[in-house]
Copies of this chain bind each other. A is one copy, B any other.
Amino acid sequence: MNKKKVSLKDIAEKAQVSTALVSYVLNGKEKESRVGHEIAVKIKQIAKELNYEPNYLAKSLRSGKTQTIGLIIADISNPFFANIARIVEDEAKKYGYTVIIGSSDEKADKSWDLINVFLNRQVDGFIIVSSEDSEEQIQYLLDKNVPFVLLDRHFPNLPTDFVSLDSYKASFDAGSHLIRQGYRNIGLIAYKSRLFHMHERIRGYRESLEQHSISFHPEWLKEVEFDAVEREIKVGIDEMLASDSAIDALIFATYRLAIAGLKYINSLGLKVPDDLAIVSFGQAEAFDLYYCPITYVLQPMEALGKTAIEILVQKLKKPDPDRKHILMQAQLMERDSSRLKLKIS
């Protein structure tokens, strides 16, 4: 398989154009150089026929640009992140970027590995869904002036660009909705986490109770460990139901928590919403197919992904010391799982 490497000149000769023109086209600069569409197509066709292989590595070392974006998500097996990855990819493609993806499994050390691997693969920039305790990595990227945008999660103390959900408001709205529907004893299951968005979800929930003059009972709030969701959710729900102020409604702070919780609620034979009303963060097919469609916090995934790419592409074009802080609003999708409470007289 030791063929001579095909050069730009070989292509130029076959296409009967200049080598410079071939270079423009194969480097994706046909627009700048006003090359006709037909000739560009012809050049690409010939390059393909001849099995031309651009030496990207040498090229990147020269230009410092690879037209590649590294996307680090917190957990690829979580549909929310998998879907957002799909959106980021589609959007990046429109700007001529290829996205390579790594999943940190919510672990800071794996996220470090990925940042290093991607830096060494010379991505032009990053989109990062941060894992807990990864502030140091983000600071490192800031120090090195690597262009990046945080997505879905951010660190309020670090001067980064970010595109996140307004988790406080979304959670406040979820609680207020349940109260308006006649529920009073409202629980929240969240993760035990130092991540800001999780704290905001707790804060919004508590504020919704407070503003409606409902006294908060500590047993209504359960923060479960990421690595022990199934077990801790069972204990948590048991305690919430056994309390003197037993809950009549429950908010799940993430999709994963909702799935585990709903399985347990089913196994207890509780009927949604008559025995227990439900609102959850995160959209999912499982919520649609549940016997009682689940009211959920619709996160603007499309807009989150698109905006993150737009900001990053802008920064790649023209470095900008200003930071963009985008907090997007969720929309509460009201369905049967939180319908008006039956008053038992």
In this complex, what residue of B is CB-closest to A101? B101
Whether the Cβ atoms of A57 and B262 lie closer than 8 Å is no
Stretch from A81-89, A211-219, A221-229 forming part of the interface with B: A81-89
Whether the Cβ atoms of B101 and A89 lie closer than 8 Å is no
Interface residues of A in 57-92 (CB under 8 A from B): 57, 61, 68, 75-79, 82-83, 85-86, 89-90
Stretch from A116-124, A151-159, A322-330 forming part of the interface with B: A116-124
Interface centre among A1, A121, A262, A291 (most CB of B within 10 A): A121
In the assembled complex, A27 has its CB within 8 A of some CB on chain B: no
A284 CA to B263 CA in the complex, in Å? 13
A290 CA to B287 CA in the complex, in Å? 9
Q: Give this chain's copy count.
A: 2
Task: Say whether, besides A103-B89, A289-B263, A291-B291, A114 and B143 are in contact (CB < 8 Å).
Answer: no
Measured CB to CB, the closest approach of chain B to A305, in angstroms, equals 11
A83 CB contact (under 8 Å) in B51, B77, B144: B77
Task: Say whether, besides A286-B286, A288-B263, A289-B286, A121 and B101 are in contact (CB < 8 Å).
Answer: no
In the assembled complex, A113 has its CB within 8 A of some CB on chain B: yes
Interface residues of A in 279-311 (CB under 8 A from B): 284-286, 288-291
Whether the Cβ atoms of B85 and A103 lie closer than 8 Å is yes
In the assembled complex, A125 has its CB within 8 A of some CB on chain B: no
A102 CB contact (under 8 Å) in B61, B98, B284: B98
Interface centre among A101, A116, A259 (most CB of B within 10 A): A101
Measured CB to CB, the closest approach of chain B to A263, in angstroms, equals 6
Cβ proximity bits A135-164 to B, threshold 8 Å, 1 near / 0 not: 000001001110000000000000000000
A13 CA to B265 CA in the complex, in Å? 60
In the assembled complex, A105 has its CB within 8 A of some CB on chain B: yes
Whether the Cβ atoms of B101 and A102 lie closer than 8 Å is yes
Residues of B within 8 A of A291 (CB): 290-291
In the assembled complex, A345 has its CB within 8 A of some CB on chain B: no
Cβ proximity bits A42-67 to B, threshold 8 Å, 1 near / 0 not: 00000000010111110001000000
Whether the Cβ atoms of B98 and A99 lie closer than 8 Å is no
A169 CA to B290 CA in the complex, in Å? 31
Interface centre among A56, A113, A143, A262 (most CB of B within 10 A): A56
Residues of B within 8 A of A82 (CB): 76-79, 82
A56 CA to B103 CA in the complex, in Å? 20
In the assembled complex, A266 has its CB within 8 A of some CB on chain B: yes
A116 CA to B47 CA in the complex, in Å? 14
- 16 pairs, CB–CB < 8 Å, chain A vs chain B: A57-B122, A68-B117, A75-B86, A76-B86, A77-B82, A79-B79, A86-B103, A98-B102, A98-B114, A100-B118, A121-B121, A263-B288, A284-B285, A284-B286, A289-B290, A290-B291
